[in-house]
Chains A and B, each alone.
Chain A
Amino acid sequence: MLLPMSVSIRIAIVLVLLPLALAGENPEQLPPEQFGLQHLTEYLGLMPGDISFRRDYTEPDSFRFEIVADLMTHPLGMINYCTGLRDAHVKGQPEILAGVLFTDMATEYQSERLGPYHPDITEIQGRYNLYYTNLSLNRLLTRAAVYIDVVFPRSSEMMLAWLSSVQRKFLTNEFRELIVMRQEEESLSMQGLDSLEKLEEKYTEEFAAFGTMIDMDPVVAAGIDCLRELLLEVKALQGMVRSGQMTVADLLKEAGYLPDDFDAETYLGKQSGWKVGGPGDDYYRGDYRFILDFGGDDVYDLTYDPSNPHGVVIIDFGGDDHYRAESDFTCGSGCLSVGLLLDFSGNDRYDARSFGLGSGYFGLGILYDGGGDDRYNGDTHVQGAGSFGMGLLIDEGGRDIYDAALHAQGFGFVEGVGVIYDTDGSDSYYAGGKYKDQLRYEDHYLSLSQGFGYGLRPWMSGGVGAIVDLGGNDNYCADIFAQGCSYWWSLGIIYDSSGNDSYHCYQYGQGTATHMSLGIIVDDFGNDVYYGKGLMQGCGHDYSCGLILDRHGDDTYTAYDLSQAAGSANGAGVLIDNEGDDRYLIRNAKNSQGYGNPRRDFGSIGLFIDLGGTDQYAGNGRDNFYWKTDSKWGGGMDIELQPSDSMKAGD
């Protein structure tokens, strides 16, 4: 059949121009890692797009984040996603990062995103008498009161509107048991462990039946709005004090006249659960709703009762403060509500129990620390951990120490986002050492932390867990499951922009993903050290993609087996090192450095890519070399993407 002339001509022109256009595309102009991926896959009879996983490999569930489901179809898109995350924070404005993360909390089949409860005018006006005389201070307190008294509880009600009272109690009892572990479990018999496992399965199935009725969007959105509004007022107050326009004493000046029958509950800032502290060293103890402290080295002994959920806002302008938890769910913890802890400066110490330090548990928890050398201690679900909500810990500057046991340091559980964003300073991250990994070892501990996404296989997809660290020589130390790692329809990320960093993990880590999930480490600059035993450094197991991308520096990679670009059980493992004189050490070359093993009658994908420098290998690789391993299917290349100019001046 003849085509109409115009269409034929157009096709002819396209056919003539297409090869020219393709010839004009210089692959070496692509970002190095993209060129490497295209080039190596071509060599192996593959395409970058082959790293893709069907959504129907497993039964769908209603808890799956759209961003995770989408990236599963093109996992190499994780690189751009991480870059977006790195660029999402603006110094001094934590609400921006929170807002960006909130957009990624849409689930796959969610048709609309609900906003927070909007109070009517009667709910905003005239609730309190004024105790303080300063207009700016009263404005801050008024805004906080509207959120704490009205918006948070009403938004929480929207979140749980469809749940019965029994189901609501389930959230803080049985569901919590799915997240915490107990050391006593180590001594259980086989039957005991089986019973425990069955009980947890029962809890999971029970929850899966009604969990889809929970919509945490109103609460998370309310918390972000509150943060945005309060920060404007806080900055106005800080500006007044800093400019000398007003002293703190002026700010805290009380009303000249108080009636004889003064009832604190009716006065703004004096209600129960509220405290406004001056510039001296203050001590706070109890279950607070609002604290504003203008400075000094303060001590906070905080409690929270999850059976009586409420919003908590703590604002501390400065000083070397010590925050101590006397219960779970404190210190920037949103439990069925919103928890904001904003500490603007000082060398602070945060000692939480579980569910704190930027923990969103059916809610939003943000800990913002504006500077100083800080120390963060906690147990489980701490330091940027989210389950049906968002947990965010932002630390701007200083040499910080993060210590936790489990499900921590950028941990995203079901419908949860957990992020640590640390802008500067040489930081130490440690996760593990408390709860044994009984399934695999008698002498290793679960971490499930440090940029870790975790779902309950096969019932509920997981969330997004990330650490973004922009500067300093950082140390990351963990044991089992950590460091840009994931399990079951989730995403784990570490993005470290600069510094000579050290990553230490025993198994399942450093850009490793397992069972339908995605894990990635991106490290831009510095001479970095990656050390681990197995399933490390770019390993994807069971329809998963694990990726490690190191863009610059002289790096050292050490592992024993199934690591450094290893695909397992139809997964894909990718290691890309763009520049630098690197060392790659592997103990078992038969399943590493560009390796894929077969499962379900076909292979996995292992891509090992080094694009520059003089490199040393123990394993399959070699400097200036292409290789295919005797596996299904994998290989590697070590080339000079930008060859050094051999011409000398005057030649």
Chain B
Amino acid sequence: MRAHPNAVSPQAVSDEGNFAAEGVHRSDATAVNKANTRTLYKNREPVYPKLVHGTFRRAKWAFMILALAVYYILPWIRWPRGGNAPDQAVLADFANARFYFFWLEIWPQEVYYITGLLILSALGLFFVTALFGRVWCGYACPQTVWTDLYILVERAIEGDRNARIRLAKEPWSVSKLTKKLSKHIVWILIAAATGGAFIFYWHDAPSTFFGLFDGTAPLSAYLFLGILTFTTYLLAGHAREQVCIYMCPWPRIQAAMTDAHSLAVTYRYDRGEPRGPHKKGQDWSNRGDCIDCNQCVAACPMGIDIRDGAQLECINCALCIDACNEVMDKVNRPRGLIAYDTDLNITNRLAKKPSTYPFVRPRTVLYASVISIVGAVMLFSLLNRVDVQLNVIHDRQPPFVMLSDGSVRNGYTLKIVNRAGMVRNFAIEFDSPVPLSLKLVGAEKDADGLLQAEVEPDGVRELRIYAVAAKGDVKTNSFPVKIRVRDTQTGVIADSAQVFLARK
């Protein structure tokens, strides 16, 4: 590929000469997406984010530790369930079609719980986006978390921004090779651990862990380990900000979630402009607070300049806020030249109107109430969950059978789901406006005239049952019946509304 004639090297280093205050340096960092360097086809400009210190950096470290800890440790938590059930707290057991989450055991028939969880997650995302903008992108997205982790490794091995840029320009040497090699090895190890941890959510963690080494793990485990190792290494190590800019649909979608009051990392140009270099002891009147030190650009993992305004590339990670605050402290100006704010407030302040931060808005109220409703429905359904379920299919062909004595017979296939860990005995009953005589295939009525069927623990039993209405009793072409199974020990009931079809 050809370099665009206008392209400049944006990452040239010149941290020399101190100005404005002790310890404040001017960086030559330039945003990689500056309008005058944009072309239709362009090689990636490498980004070397500089380490910053501050509230948001600490918050990001804390969240990164929490997220990674949950991800890596969760599958190793044991949760004894007794019987043949697995003792892993969180497990998607595809082979046996069960999903385990601590005290919950979800069957494929109850996949609506997972649907509900996805709906809640989506609405939660809409809600926080409406309130605080792209916090998902800046703090919680796996792409952000793992990229941050990879940059941490890179920084530990190759040094901070300037050292990394120097190293990139150096000719190849043993020391450069050692550094690069060890960085990539650590990256690949992290990637493999990431892919490995993913597999443990689908198979028993300890046995699969050892199985991965002695070759007894299933082929799919190696396959997914390989795929996720590769994608983690590629996306967090090499693609990085390009994933957010070119691959991810979410930055485009979330424009619909935000409004003029949604907070975003914002350069307060009402306070910062006109910007310009500042020498120590100079007067601050008739100028803005921005000393044009470019530290916000140097810190940005996306390689952009927040002072260019809100832009698609900005993931709202707030590291530029920390970078700017560090500088503001040193030059004795108030913090918050870059802060979570809105463009609307800047316009207001320029017009001498007060800033407003209305968190209660129709949009947020709507999101909050939908979240509450869906959450309440899910909670209600979870609390009222019974461990027996009845599914019935009425025979489709033939819909009914005329018998030789003129009576009418309907056939039903019953599936009784027993989610308990013990054998249970169910009595099968029909609620019908017309007297029906019942016949269960493979079973006779017991002494009390009950049709009974035993169902294995944690199992499903399929039964065929026939109901016959005598000739004179059928007055309509169809009437509703309710089929019910009742645990003969505990009295727990599951039922299903069905019809009886006939010809008058």
| A and B held together in a complex | no
A residues with a Cβ closer than 8 A to B are: none
- B residues sitting closer than 8 Å to A (CB atoms) are none
